[in-house]
Chains A and B, each alone.
Chain A
Amino acid sequence: MDIATQDYDKVSVMAVSGRVDSATAPDLENALKQLVDAEKNQIVLDLKDVEYMSSAGLRAMVSTLKAVKRVNGDLRLANPSPRVEEVLRLAGLTSIFSIHRTRDEAVASF
């Protein structure tokens, strides 16, 4: 898994690629926590290049969502592949996360 973060005006975009499973999800959670600790609470997670995600990845995303919601921020998702979207749907999270077709749409939604 690789992570690249880019700051826009008021929004941080974190692009994730590769596999997000129990081996890599802690790194994702830590990277997201660093943004939250730096008071960057408006976050877009670009999932375009995520080829696989298990419940460990969802756990990292949900814990971050809870943290940013408490300070009136949000974690919004962009570009989930059909495979990742199925996992989100199985977990009932498609109505919990704001999900956008593109990174630009997700950024503009803030």
Chain B
Amino acid sequence: MERRLSVPGRYDRLEQICNFVSEAAEAAGLDATASNRCQLAVDEACTNIIEHGYAGEDRGHIEIVCQPEPGELIITIHDHAPPFDPAAVPQPRLNVEVEDIGVGGLGLYFMRQVMDAVEFSHEDGGNTLVLIKRQEE
């Protein structure tokens, strides 16, 4: 059964968002590791929306829809921010000397690392991000 959450774009809502995702992950039968990865991906996505999309807190809402299927969780995140172009996000500079580490772009990098699918789209009135996580065998 589809679950929906709409919250103002504020960092202090991230815990509520993670709890919402955790419950949906449980309903989909995902294990703790897969659930943790879903929470991380959604946290990073919502942080990016607040920080870069809305350029600050309390400037717009974030809607999250979770569709638990057997062994799979489909998470759709919608905002009303200007169009987001994932290709414009820099690659984080990792596995380099301390002084050269660059953690910009780490959120998007994490999403792609931990989820099975990450798809961005933009239509009139906002951005939609679809994240899919399947239970590993």
Which chain A residues have a beta carbon within 8 Å of chain B's beta carbons? 19, 21-23, 52, 54-56, 58-59, 62, 65-66, 69, 83, 86-87, 90-93, 95-96
Contacts and interface: CB of A to CB of B under 8 A. Distances in A.
Task: Give 4 closest A-B pairs by Cβ, nearest first.
Answer: A92-B94, A23-B11, A55-B106, A92-B95
B2 interface: no
Question: Chain B contact residues (Cβ within 8 angstroms of A): what range?
Answer: 20 to 34
A55 B14 contact: no
Contacts, number: 68
Interface string B88-129: 000010110011010100110110011000000000000000
A21 B50 contact: no
Contact of A19 (B15, B50, B95, B113): B15
Contact of B113 (A22, A65, A69, A90): A90
Contacts of A83: 36
